[in-house]
Chains A and B, each alone.
Chain A
């Protein structure tokens, strides 16, 4: 799969690129800001853009805004947003743009297999939402369907999301996500 990485911390960017290349993906561009990201996506039309929320110059949410633009302009490019902390409005807003989107806390990449799973799933038109985000969104003691934007679902994989919603500490549970649209469509 062809991937563009936008992450301003060089160490982390190279680490992510190495990880993805180890897994057999092709990292076609590595950039450190949102403008360069948009340029590279336009140029390479990758299957996935891996985007850090905070990037230069203002370190606010330019990554999330770029992600939104990519979803609008290049529907073929899925976006996986990485954030240092939970920022639900962005996540929810982006989820509304349909499948092919994921939103994860950065340290999820340390659970390499889960992370690579999420990458594949998002690129295939599914979604991935960090359990922390889900918990923050729905508060304590209530559960909501995790998936949004992806039609047809009901997979046991989401249980972790509602578990974490009742948990006040940070969940180390699996990444919540919906199944691949294509796979389901065919089966």
Chain B
């Protein structure tokens, strides 16, 4: 249109006009749409610092005058006192003015920061856990779809398992903004892209919440790592049981079978001896008996590695255990089946406790009870021995505690001197 109007008269002037106008328009767009020069921040700063400066100047002059009236003009420390007062007043005053300006000109930011601060107070007082900072952020930013995931430094992913970089997903109108504190990554806020138009709000709110976010992140990280450690410990213990089972199978199905075959061969040879070779009967008998003893030994070893009767349940295995113990043992065990690792753990605890009762406490009677209560297996081994047992590090009892711990269970020993030893174990069955 400009072209049409000015075209024939002065093309140079038109071009210049056009150029100037387009620059102005471009700057206008950049300032409003893309926040060139961070214009809103600039305005905000000016709005804060102009009244702030005025207030401070007034304060300074006021103090100087007042002091002048009171103690006489020109005293050197009139100036010093006024300067000190102004310096001291600067920070709180700035915060106050900033809040007033925000309240007057940027209600959203004022409200958002207020929420973050209120939440911080709640956390400090112990009325809220830092982990819920995500919900507070969503509310403070006025974007109910916003979610915060914490960055887990040890495995390089977010707590929700993703490792998205900051950026925009235009197809879903989602944006990802990193929350950080002093250059350290804390988490990723996923939010609506519209929030990017209020960059100042986003930055200020995230900045104000950064300490809380960091605390929350650390807590989440510790919790995650503890859960991982517990899970890996349980896996190791379970792998141990599985290994025992394999070893037991190998002993029974491998070595033992071979020995039986060998003995059988000797027996057949023995039975096919001609009458004149009868002299070989006795040594062959000896050899076969020896093999029989070796088989019996193997069976005992295999049972110690992992009693095959554990396949039939804890009650059967405990009764077998009691049968092999040189002092009378009463077994009162539930026949309910529990997960194999729990049964195995309970069995080995009973083994160790029983061995202790026999070896160290000169017990004359032991009672074992195993019952299921509220999703837990409760096993107790009580003897009537000398008591005074202490679960020292490295002792059998401490080993039991570790084993039970690995299953997320509880372990306790009560052993008053002269009143026997009681071991009680509580193993979750889930």
Contact = CB atoms under 8 A, between A and B. Distances in A.
A89 interface: yes
Interface string A29-67: 000000000000000000000000010000100000000
Contact of A22 (B259, B272, B300, B324): B272
B264 A110 contact: yes
Contacts of A110: 260, 263-264, 267, 288, 291-292
A72 interface: no
Contacts of A173: none
The CB with the most chain B CB atoms within 10 A, among A84, A112, A135, is that of: A84
A11 interface: yes
A85 B268 contact: no
B249 A59 contact: yes
Nearest to B303: A85
Interface string B295-321: 110011011000011011000100110
19 contacts: A11-B261, A12-B260, A15-B265, A18-B264, A22-B272, A59-B249, A85-B299, A85-B302, A87-B311, A107-B263, A107-B292, A107-B296, A109-B260, A110-B263, A139-B323, A140-B323, A168-B323, A170-B300, A172-B292
Contacts of B320: 86, 136
Residue from A22, A106, A140 with most neighbouring chain B CB atoms (10 Å): A106
B247 to A, nearest CB: 14
Nearest to A54: B253
A107 B267 CA distance: 12
Contacts of A27: none
Nearest to A84: B252
Nearest to B265: A15
Interface residues of B, number: 38
Interface centre among B260, B312, B328 (most CB of A within 10 A): B260
A87 B252 contact: no
B326 interface: yes
A159 interface: no
B303 A12 contact: no
A135 B261 contact: no
10 cross-chain pairs, A with B, having the tightest CB-CB distances, nearest first: A15-B264, A11-B261, A84-B252, A110-B263, A12-B261, A107-B295, A9-B257, A85-B308, A170-B296, A112-B267
Contacts of A136: 309, 319-320, 323
A9 B324 CA distance: 30
A80 B253 CA distance: 19
A26 B252 CA distance: 28
Contacts of A140: 322-323, 328
Nearest to B258: A11
Contacts of B257: 9, 11-12, 84, 106
Interface residues of A, number: 28
Interface in B241-285: 249, 252-253, 256-261, 263-265, 267-268, 271-272
Given A11-B261, A84-B257, A87-B312, A19 B323 contact: no
Contacts, number: 93
Contacts of A107: 256, 259-260, 263, 292, 295-296
Contact of A89 (B264, B272, B288, B312): B312
Given A15-B264, A107-B256, 12 more contacts: A11-B261, A12-B257, A18-B268, A59-B249, A86-B308, A87-B309, A107-B296, A110-B292, A112-B271, A136-B320, A168-B323, A170-B296
Interface string A145-187: 0000000000000000000000010101000000000000000
A109 B325 CA distance: 28
Interface of B: 249, 252-253, 256-261, 263-265, 267-268, 271-272, 288, 291-292, 295-296, 299-300, 302-303, 308-309, 311-312, 316, 319-320, 322-326, 328
Contacts of B252: 54, 84-85
A106 B316 contact: no
A143 interface: no
Contacts of B302: 85
Q: Which among A16, A110, A168, A172 has the greatest number of chain B C-beta atoms within 10 A?
A: A110
Contacts of B308: 84-87
Contacts of B263: 107, 109-110
Contacts of B268: 15, 18-19, 22
A135 B323 contact: yes
Contacts of B299: 84-85, 170
A19 B324 CA distance: 34
A85 B253 CA distance: 10
A86 to B, nearest CB: 7
Nearest to B296: A170
A21 to B, nearest CB: 10
B53 to A, nearest CB: 86
Contacts of A87: 308-309, 311-312
A104 to B, nearest CB: 12
Given A15-B268, A170-B299, A106 B260 contact: yes
A109 B312 contact: no
A16 B268 CA distance: 10
A168 B326 contact: yes
